A and B are shown apart, each in its own frame.
Chain A
Amino acid sequence: MSYVAHDESAFAPPAEVEEVELYHPKTWVGKYVWSQDAKVIAVQYAMTAMGIGLVALVLSWLMRLQLGYPNSFSFINPSNYLQFVTMHGMIMVIYLLTALFLGGFGNYLIPLMVGARDMVFPYVNMVSYWVYLFAVLLLVASFFVTGGPTGAGWTLYPPQAISQGTPGSSWGIILMLVSLAFFIVGFTMGGLNYVVTVLQARTRGMTMMRLPLTVWGIFMATVLALLAFPALFVSAIMMTLDLTLGTSFFMPAIVSMGQQGGHSGGNPLLFQHLFWFFGHPEVYIVALPAFGIVSDLLSVHARKNIFGYRMMVWAILAIGALSFIVWAHHMYVSGMNPYFGFFFATTTLIIAVPTAIKVYNWVLTLWRGNIHLTVPMLFAIGFIFTFINGGLTGLFLGNATVSVPLSDTMFVVAHFHMVMAIAPILVVFGAIYHWYPKITGRMLNDTLGKFHFWVTFVGSYGIYYPMHYLGMMGVPRRYYAIGGTDFIPASAHFVNEWITIAALIVGAVQMVFLYNLIWSYFNGKPSGSNPWNATTLEWQTPDTPPKHGNFGATLPVVYRWAYDYSVPGAVDDFIPQNVPPREVTGRNSSKT
């Protein structure tokens, strides 16, 4: 239970401190296009990410059409099926989820939640977005070049990725690699901003342990990304050189159709190690912001302080550290030394401990809470279910002996979609429903929101639950058509058809969400400054939406943590972080 110190001397006047230098634009273009305001940059990131995400959504439909109704569509052939798979995966993981969580939510929420006027380097922040947009455009350009985009699978393994015969093995793969390199450069600019803003620009009284868990999640994810993306950067450069200059970093000597290839002495496994040294932390780059955001959604909408705040912070730190020593569990079938397999299986299972702590704490936060089944809360609860399901199948795949027979089957696809596609995207939706009123000053339509939630939630289970069974039957992933394979029963085809129908419905209902975003912007109910009665600083701004500079003339002073909900003796069931103890009135003043 939370008690608030009631001490007159505890009131702290605003400090006279050097403030972040703000650029005040004079034109519309300066304000909304070449903007240096983190909130505008956040919206730019979010809109770009959602735009390219829609492309990836359509690609998933095309994939599912082929799998559900093989050979029924003349515009889907084996080559472009592989291109759909590749582009869908890479866009969703990097260009949508990473960009949306860090560039979108990070930019909007970090300065507001820590009580800063903006990011510490607004100009660099602006450049970060434009480099990201350039990376996205490069990626999109690959759809229009000769040979089309790469079809090497989202992991881009060499030698296949740059060998003749793989779709997009000339321009497609080059554009992908260069786009990734630019994405990383752009992200590094943004990431430096997020880290330094959290560490250096917090307002008076905002200690690290008073930060909302949303900020902790985004902060730690940014640190992971800064340290993990160099591995992808290096491998992208090395593969580009293998392709363009004929070096042999990853390319071994290959004899194809009796012809000796131009490479010799490269090591394809080296690429896999580099890729997964990035790739596994990437899971947590997406998951940690989701963990943080969902913690805050649960606390606000259950009107209860988060259970085990310190443990939640420590778990975020532990997960971040451990995420760098589990990468080779993605490579159990690469022929590694069994002792390495044992090591990586062990670390993989250990990382389940802090993760499970977080799940228990979310559930205990709900326990006897005053649960309001608002749309953000529905999505948050949906996340807990989905994350537990995805996490449990992770126990199968983390164990080398169980993982080997399941490798490259639909079981893997089902697992990682549950744990790092559906679970985080549910949080994205919950977060948008939660913070949309602050961003626009209007509420999203509740009925449409609930319809969106239920169809998305139930529909996602309609897609991925049966997919686990397909995997256990041995149905392989990445196959254009499984044809008349003996060990796959005819019922598998019916399941595939069912999954396709569910995927089409879940995809279509996202249009309702987009409609709601646009409709509510013009017609939504005015939200006021703090419609959820939340405690964190972004809800305490003098203007909604917050103006440039966020907090008006003086920065807020923080007196308490972010989770003072239902405090005994307090009049309201929430006490904002910037309310001094002497203003908290109530009956149990000695304990309030």
Chain B
Amino acid sequence: MSIFHDLTAKPWATAPGTVENLYDRATARKLALKVFLAVVTVLFMLLIIAYGRRMAYEDWRPSPQLGLLWANTLALILGSVALQWAQFSVRRGHMDGMRVALLAGGAFTVVFLVGQILAWRQLSTMGYFDVTNPAIAFFYLITGLHGLHLLGGLVAWGRTFSKVWGDFDVAIIRHSVELCTLYWHYLLGVWLVLFGLLFSGNNLDILLKLCGIR
């Protein structure tokens, strides 16, 4: 039933007894995750707008482009692919494949996070590092918040991974893996946007003009 249909119902006159939206634990959890992702979307959207707004000023000095971020991005893509593989495996009942893929997903994510910390250190040792440069401050803030979200994801991943040994309820594990996969894909998407933004240097002139910022 569409939202429009729902909202145009006449509750004072409709026939009673419609059965709908019965509680289902899995659906509730998935919905909660989607609502949470909407909140996270607003968070990063605001950061991106703030970044773009600051870029529009004449004294904007972009942060240096770190080659290491390319490798980190690759690690996160591999992590996301591994989790997709885990989801594929658990849906087909291939539990060994699921375990390996789940482990790989977590490992690639740890690699990504370690890589991000190395990138932070690399940036801080560069000659023109200046904490009052907004571009550099934004770099730390944006990557830090993204990393924290991944760390939170790793907690959920760890809870799932700890349950896939011995006897377990396949339906519950399948559901957990699906939620992890959705979260990882989402954070990969966010990272790709952030990566593009941080690597854009001073080349977003057209976009800023389109948005009316510059």
Contacts and interface: CB of A to CB of B under 8 A. Distances in A.
Given A208-B7, A305-B12, A247 B24 contact: no
15 contacts: A3-B13, A10-B17, A17-B23, A120-B28, A192-B35, A196-B35, A200-B23, A205-B18, A209-B7, A230-B42, A238-B141, A249-B50, A265-B132, A270-B54, A557-B17
Contacts of B35: 192, 195-196, 226
Given A200-B24, A247-B132, A249-B134, A314 B12 contact: no
Interface residues of B, number: 46
B206 interface: no
Nearest to A267: B54
B170 interface: no
Contacts, number: 160
Given A248-B137, A270-B54, A200 B16 contact: no
B20 to A, nearest CB: 7
Given A208-B7, A226-B35, A230-B46, A309 B12 contact: yes
B27 interface: yes
B28 A196 contact: yes
B92 interface: no
Given A200-B23, A265-B133, 19 more contacts: A5-B15, A12-B19, A188-B36, A200-B31, A205-B16, A207-B6, A207-B18, A209-B9, A209-B14, A227-B42, A230-B43, A231-B42, A234-B46, A238-B50, A249-B138, A265-B132, A274-B50, A310-B11, A559-B16
A129 B61 CA distance: 43
B47 interface: yes
Question: Which 4 A/B pairs are nearest by Cβ-Cβ distance?
Answer: A559-B16, A561-B11, A247-B137, A12-B17
A309 B8 CA distance: 11
A209 B6 contact: yes
A188 B18 CA distance: 32
Contacts of A249: 50, 134, 137-138, 141
Contacts of B209: none
B23 A18 contact: yes
Nearest to A313: B7
Contacts of B40: 230
Interface string A313-326: 11001000000000
Given A200-B24, A241-B141, A265 B59 contact: yes
Interface string A35-59: 0000000000000000000000000
B108 to A, nearest CB: 27
Given A121-B32, A207-B6, A245-B131, A19 B23 contact: yes
A265 to B, nearest CB: 6
B34 to A, nearest CB: 10
A247 B137 CA distance: 6
A318 to B, nearest CB: 11
Interface in A508-543: none
Contacts of B38: 226-227
A230 B42 CA distance: 7
